[in-house]
Structures are given as structure tokens and as C-alpha cells.
Amino acid sequence: MGEIIFWTLVRIMIIIPTIYIMRNYLDYSVWWSASFLLMYGVVLHPAIVQFRYFLEKNKDVLESSLCSSCEHFDKSAVLCMKHDEHPTENYLPCDGIDWSPKSKGNGVENISE
């Protein structure tokens, strides 16, 4: 996830000066449309595609692994916060020993319900 954010910021840093420079060469109404299309095509759409790929790649870990029901699991980064490692389909950083159910009151559902 951090990689998606990083590359989105890189693209934003490139596209903003480009859009600013284009202002000198295009009619104002065309410049607005071109700017919008560039922002969508260069920044937003690639970020959406990368995010969908991230979700698809980690679908099994996010939905059906032991970690997905553990309070130490950060879904947004697919990260075990207790061991600071990324679990995979075939690898649990704690081998299940440190698993702890998500608790009530922190905005996360309780698996026992």
C-alpha cells in the first residue's frame, strides 16, 4: 500500500509542474479539460488499478487467513503489527501462537458474533 501512495505522490509531483507549464501554451478552456484528463489518466487511474491489483494479490490473506481475524493484523498494509512482517497464504509470522481475536469497541467486528 505504501508503494501505491509513494508512486501516486511521484506522479503528482511530475504532473503539477507539467499542468502549470501547459497553461502557457493552451487556451484556458482547453487547459482545464486537458488538466483534468491528465490528472485522471496519469495520477488517479493508475492508483486505482494498482489498488485493485493489491487487493486481488492479497485476497486470500485478507479474507481467509488466520491473520485476517487477528487484532494485530493491519488490513490496509497486509501487515502483522506485532511481528512487523507481511503474512502470506503459506506463512504466518507467529505460526498462530500470538493470534488474538479482534476486540469490540475499536471499530472492528468481533469474530465470535
Binding residues among 68-97 for ligand SF4 as defined by CB under 6 A: 70, 72-73, 80, 82-83, 87, 92-94
Contact (Cβ atoms closer than 8 angstroms) between residue 101 and residue 72: no
Q: End-to-end distance of the chain based on CA atoms, in angstroms? A: 30
**Minimum distance of ligand SF4 from residue 84's CB (angstroms):** 9
Q: Does 67 bind ligand SF4 (CB under 6 A)?
A: yes
Which residue number, 45 or 57, has a Cβ lying nearer to ligand SF4? 57
**Minimum distance of ligand SF4 from residue 33's CB (angstroms):** 47
Residue closest to 98 by CA, chosen among 76, 62, 64, 73 = 73
**Minimum distance of ligand SF4 from residue 85's CB (angstroms):** 7
Contact (Cβ atoms closer than 8 angstroms) between residue 59 and residue 67: no
Q: Does 104 bind ligand SF4 (CB under 6 A)?
A: no
Q: Sign of dihedral through CA atoms 22, 26, 31, 33?
A: negative
Please tell me the distance from the alpha carbon of residue 110 to that of residue 75, in angstroms, as a whole number. Answer: 15
Residues near ligand SF4 (CB under 6 A): 66-67, 70, 72-73, 80, 82-83, 87, 92-94, 98-99
